[in-house]
């Protein structure tokens, strides 16, 4: 009688193993897996390698600056920090414009590539130190370069991160892109001009939903100009600015959405003709 009992136990154990496998394959099991750290070892190593390359470049630029400048070099987190940084760097920017611009651009692109908050303060600083025209050129150049770097980094390791952080938003974005494939540039321009979706999400999700880089690049270069102009111009009156929220009041948002709607108009007209 012992032998059959052994068989029953083994069969029961086998059944439990099968149940565990089914649970692992079920939606709830997949959800548990999705909640773990989303990158594999090689993906994490690749991201860390890119981060270290950028960090080494920034460190080299930092070490070429005079020792007297070190104590004030920090990323601004408030308008007060930004005003202090601007007053401290104004003379250095005039005496060493090439070094300063190199350091400024490297820092901006680094922050944009690795999704470090605070680029809006860097945009305000450009307006305060360089004026509207040069400041706008610098901001658009750096924002586009950083967004492009983020695009290619996401193409390498971004899919698990975006699926982990924004699964619902990614599905929505993918559906919207699928509906507007023929006029994709217009839709991407609309997204860049208006705050409909965060730029961080657009940078990360674009390669995942198969947006071609040339469309992503053109939409970024052109679409960031209106918001960048508003920020850079505000940098001229940095002393009068009370809060970053003052940059985008209802009037400014209405203007941005108006521009975005005009850019989206060809897509809407085409869909209307299709329905007719």
pLDDT at position 173, please? 95
- DSSP, collapsed to helix, strand or coil, labels residue 145 as helix
**Average pLDDT score over residue span 244-250:** 82
pLDDT at position 65, please? 67
Q: Give the dihedral of Cα atoms 109, 112, 118, 121; nearest 10 deg.
A: 50
Hey, CA dihedral for 140, 146, 150, 152, is it positive or negative? positive
Distance between CA atoms of residues 92 and 111, nearest Å:
22
SS (H, E, C) 22-61: HHHHCHHHHHHHHCCCCCCHHHHHHHHHHHHHHHHHHHHH
Closest CA to 87 of 232, 229, 231, 239: 239
pLDDT at position 69, please? 58
Phi, psi of 16, rounded to the nearest 5 degrees: -65, -40
Question: Token pair for residue 219?
Answer: 């939409």
pLDDT at position 29, please? 45
pLDDT digits (tens, 9 = 90+) for 37-70: 566 777 677 777 778 877 887 777 677 666 555 5
pLDDT at position 6, please? 41
pLDDT digits (tens, 9 = 90+) for 172-227: 999 999 988 888 999 999 999 998 899 999 999 999 999 999 999 999 999 999 99
pLDDT at position 140, please? 96
Closest CA to 107 of 94, 95, 89: 89
* Cα distances (Å, whole numbers) of residue 139 to 59, 218, 222, 255, 256: 22, 15, 12, 20, 18
Q: How confident is the model at residue 276 (pLDDT cuts 50, 70, 90)?
A: very low
Distance between CA atoms of residues 127 and 237, nearest Å:
9
**Residues 160 and 41 sit within 8 Å (Cβ to Cβ):** no
**Average pLDDT score over residue span 126-141:** 94
pLDDT at position 187, please? 92
Q: How confident is the model at residue 269 (pLDDT cuts 50, 70, 90)?
A: low
- DSSP, collapsed to helix, strand or coil, labels residue 207 as coil
């Amino acid at each position: 009688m012992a032998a059959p009992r052994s068989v029953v136990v083994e069969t029961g154990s086998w059944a439990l193993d099968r149940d565990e496998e089914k649970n692992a394959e079920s939606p709830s099991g997949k959800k548990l897996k999705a909640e773990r750290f989303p990158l594999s070892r090689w993906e994490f190593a690749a991201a860390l390698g890119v981060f270290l390359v950028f960090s080494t470049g920034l460190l080299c630029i930092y070490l070429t600056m005079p020792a007297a400048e070190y104590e004030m070099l920090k990323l601004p987190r408030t308008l007060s920090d930004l005003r202090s940084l601007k007053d401290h760097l104004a003379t250095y920017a005039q005496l060493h414009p090439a070094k300063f611009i190199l350091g400024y651009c490297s820092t901006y692109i680094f922050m944009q590539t690795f999704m470090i908050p605070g680029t809006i303060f860097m945009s305000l600083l450009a307006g305060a130190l360089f004026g509207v025209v040069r400041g706008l050129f610098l901001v658009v150049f750096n924002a586009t370069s950083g967004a492009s770097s983020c695009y290619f980094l996401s193409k390498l390791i971004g899919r698990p991160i975006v699926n982990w952080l924004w699964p619902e938003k990614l599905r929505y974005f993918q559906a919207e892109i699928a509906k507007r494939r023929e006029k994709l540039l217009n839709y991407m321009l609309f997204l860049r001009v208006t705050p409909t979706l965060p730029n961080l999400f657009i940078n990360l999700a674009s390669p995942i939903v198969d947006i071609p880089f040339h469309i992503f690049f053109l939409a970024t270069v052109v679409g960031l100009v209106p918001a960048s102009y508003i920020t850079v111009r505000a940098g001229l009156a940095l002393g009068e600015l009370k809060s970053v929220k003052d940059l985008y009041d209802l009037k400014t948002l209405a203007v941005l959405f108006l521009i975005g709607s005009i850019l989206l108009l060809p897509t809407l007209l085409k869909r209307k003709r299709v329905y007719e």
